[in-house]
Amino acid sequence: MHSQEVAPAAAPHKHCEICGECSAECRYVFVAQTRTIVFLESPHVRSVDRHTHIITLASDEEIEYDVLKGDLAFRIKPQLLPHIVCSNSCADDLTKQHFTWLPTLLEKTATLDCASTNPPIWDLLVFEVSSLRHVTSTCTECGTGFPNIKKGFACYPILKTAVVDGVRGETRMPDGFGFAQSNTTEERPKGRFWFYRIPEKSDKSKCFCSNECVWNYACAHDSLVMYPNYVERASFTIVTPYTKQINAARGEAYPFRPDRAMPLP
């Protein structure tokens, strides 16, 4: 991740991903999945170089970190996309349902490999844009600049769509289709299913500042757009021309919420 001029954190006239409000107060934040956590107050930590982002342990081992937060340093997953919130409360709501922090694990050691614990720790943390080295990208759809660390969008033209009524957990994927969406919920298992056939190759040249710009592009080009989303447990998510309609049927506050890219059996 290379340093570049800090992009404005403001995201005016965009919808908050939690409450759905379109507010002048909306701003970008990064949501990161942690790889390594270092407890800076540990006696095993010899020094912290904030210029080079290097921590030296008493054993002479050097650990590179991405960001500091209080008395902890974090090395995070390298691919981050910004999320839009309208308040600190909504920023907290982005990750609180996923947070599985176990501070007692750091009492015995200076560092913690989040993937090696049993069970693995998949901590998701919100970082202000200014706290992480990032680049300024230009949105393909609306042309505005936005903070980004690594774009990761794959755009597929939809070759064929099949729409059927069905039941959550029972409806099967038709032959020849690869992805699905549904307006069903756990509370309302009966509903409508959309199945999509897409080509193997995608266009990865596009970059978007928000889920709503992804949706606008998907509608204009009859496309399925796939991208990583750490708020959804580090899975890939999809947006299609039907996303807004599906979210309205589910009663979602945020109309452009993407779906996990998990094909039905």
Tell me the pLDDT tens digit for each residue of 70-114.
788 888 876 667 889 999 888 888 766 444 444 444 555 667 666
Q: Are 242 and 195 in contact (CB under 8 A)?
A: no
The set of residues, in sequence order, having a beta carbon less than 8 Å from that of 215 and lying 6+ positions away, is: 239, 241, 243, 244, 256
Specify the pLDDT at position 114.
Answer: 64
Structural tokens at position 124: 């998701």
pLDDT in tens, 136-160: 899 999 998 999 887 689 999 999 9
Q: Is the dihedral of CA 18, 21, 228, 192 positive or negative?
A: positive
Is residue 162 packed enough to be buried (19+ CB in 10 Å), middle (13-18) or exposed (0-12)? middle
The Cα–Cα gap between 24 and 10 comes to: 8
Burial string for 202-220 (b: 16+ CB within 10 Å, else e) reads beeebbbbbbbbbbbbbee
State pTM to two decimals: 0.80
